[in-house]
């Protein structure tokens, strides 16, 4: 029995179904052209393994009437986005360290990463939908960056706070996304997209002080964990360049004035952050 259907950002349908007295989630491709991407997402989620994050069980992949789908367990928990509103401040530094565990301990430079990120940047720069946004400084900044530190690694692909579920003291990851390149840098940047830029909270306007303090504490603990790494400076620069790239990647899907205003402000902010970083290192 189908309880309700939601439309995800990718255009896929998410439905909660009651089966044998239990609830499961079904993710269905938006159309036949998306089937291959959905299969890659299914395999990524099915094969996920982590020492600190828990895996959401997947049950099966099928194709019916030309549209692919797979099912997974239903988690009756709270998203990270909501949990941070009331989380004890003393828990947040620990959480920041846990999040940064997605960075491999032995990252090294990789030309494949550099090539993949540059190709993605070039495709974005050619997109006519960029014309309505203040992107010239952003593209100038990103064109000159060496992405080789964004080496390949296991990668969720869309690790925003909405895709992290807290249940019984564990953090579960849901809604894995295939990406143009699997790298820890994409996951860290996506988490900072919420912790630093407030992506999930953009429709709320000025955040209340309690939430703003918690997000700042989380951001600072994440950056402190990065700074403790032997390649901390390279990691920081790679993550914030990737974060700027992620903001540009939202532009083709921007459908409302609030999101456009958010994009405009974050581009200016991130270019400023990267300019200041360059000044300090020169």
Which residue did the predictor score with more confidence, 268 or 281? 268
Terminal Cα distance for the chain, rounded: 62
How far apart, in whole angstroms, are the C-alpha atoms of residue 55 and residue 118? 32
pLDDT score recorded for residue 148: 97
Closest CA to 34 of 16, 6, 13: 13
Per residue in 231-280, pLDDT tens? 999 999 999 999 999 999 999 989 999 999 999 999 999 999 999 988 77
Q: The tokens 């002080």 sit on which residue?
A: 209
How far apart, in whole angstroms, are the C-alpha atoms of residue 266 and residue 270? 6
Residue 61 corresponds to which tokens in the numbers above? 């992949």
Per residue in 154-210, pLDDT tens? 999 999 999 999 999 899 999 899 999 999 999 999 999 999 999 999 999 889 999
pLDDT score recorded for residue 4: 47
pLDDT-based confidence at residue 94 (cuts at 50, 70, 90): very high
pLDDT score recorded for residue 123: 97
- Is the model's pLDDT at 138 over the cut of 50? yes
Could you give phi then psi for residue 5, rounded to 5 degrees? -125, 135
Q: Is 0.85 topped by the overall pTM?
A: yes
Which residue did the predictor score with more confidence, 19 or 80? 80
How far apart, in whole angstroms, are the C-alpha atoms of residue 100 and residue 187? 9
> Can you list the pairs that 30-39 forms with residues at least 24 positions away whose Cβ atoms lie under 8 Å?
30/67, 31/66, 31/67, 32/66, 32/67, 34/10, 34/68, 35/63, 35/66, 35/67, 35/68, 37/178, 38/12, 38/68, 38/69, 38/70, 39/68
SS3 29: coil
User: What mean pLDDT, rounded, does the chain reach?
Assistant: 92
pLDDT score recorded for residue 9: 56
What is the percent of the chain with per-residue pLDDT over 70, rounded to a whole number? 96
pLDDT score recorded for residue 10: 62
How far apart, in whole angstroms, are the C-alpha atoms of residue 142 and residue 118? 9
pLDDT score recorded for residue 206: 86
Can you tell me the mean pLDDT for 5-9?
Answer: 51
Residue 205 in contact with residue 64, Cβ under 8 Å?
A: no
pLDDT-based confidence at residue 14 (cuts at 50, 70, 90): confident
Domains and CATH numbers, the chain: 2-73 (3.30.200.20), 78-281 (3.90.1200.10)
Rg value, the chain, Cα: 19
**Dihedral, 19, 158, 259, 222 alpha carbons, nearest 10:** 120
Can you tell me the mean pLDDT for 88-100?
Answer: 94
- Is the model's pLDDT at 6 over the cut of 60? no
Per residue in 194-238, pLDDT tens? 999 999 999 998 899 999 999 999 999 999 999 999 999 999 999
């Amino acid at each position: 029995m189908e309880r309700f259907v939601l439309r995800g950002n990718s255009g896929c349908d998410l439905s909660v179904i009651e089966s044998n007295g239990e609830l499961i989630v079904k993710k269905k491709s938006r159309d036949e052209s998306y089937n291959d991407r959905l299969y890659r997402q299914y395999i990524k989620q099915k094969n996920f393994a982590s020492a600190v994050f828990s895996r959401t069980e997947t049950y099966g992949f099928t194709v019916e009437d030309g549209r692919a789908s797979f099912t997974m367990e239903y988690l009756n928990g709270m998203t990270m986005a909501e949990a941070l509103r009331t989380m004890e401040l003393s828990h947040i530094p620990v959480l920041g360290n846990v999040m940064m565990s997605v960075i491999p301990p032995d990252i090294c430079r990789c030309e494949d990463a550099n090539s993949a990120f540059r190709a993605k940047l070039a495709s974005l720069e050619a997109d006519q939908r960029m014309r309505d946004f203040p992107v010239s400084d952003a593209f100038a900044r990103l064109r000159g960056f060496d992405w080789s530190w964004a080496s390949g690694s296991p990668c969720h692909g869309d690790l925003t706070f909405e895709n992290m579920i807290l249940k019984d003291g564990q953090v579960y990851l849901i809604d894995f996304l295939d990406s143009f390149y699997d790298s820890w840098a994409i996951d860290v940047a996506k988490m900072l997209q919420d912790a630093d830029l407030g992506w999930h909270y953009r429709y709320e306007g000025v955040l209340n002080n309690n939430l703003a303090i918690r997000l700042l504490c989380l951001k600072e603990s994440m950056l402190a964990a990065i700074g403790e790494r032997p390649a901390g400076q390279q990691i920081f620069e790679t993550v914030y360049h990737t974060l700027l790239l992620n903001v540009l990647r939202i532009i083709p899907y921007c459908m409302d004035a609030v999101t456009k205003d958010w994009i405009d402000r974050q581009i200016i902010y991130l270019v400023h952050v990267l300019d200041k970083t360059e000044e300090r290192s020169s």
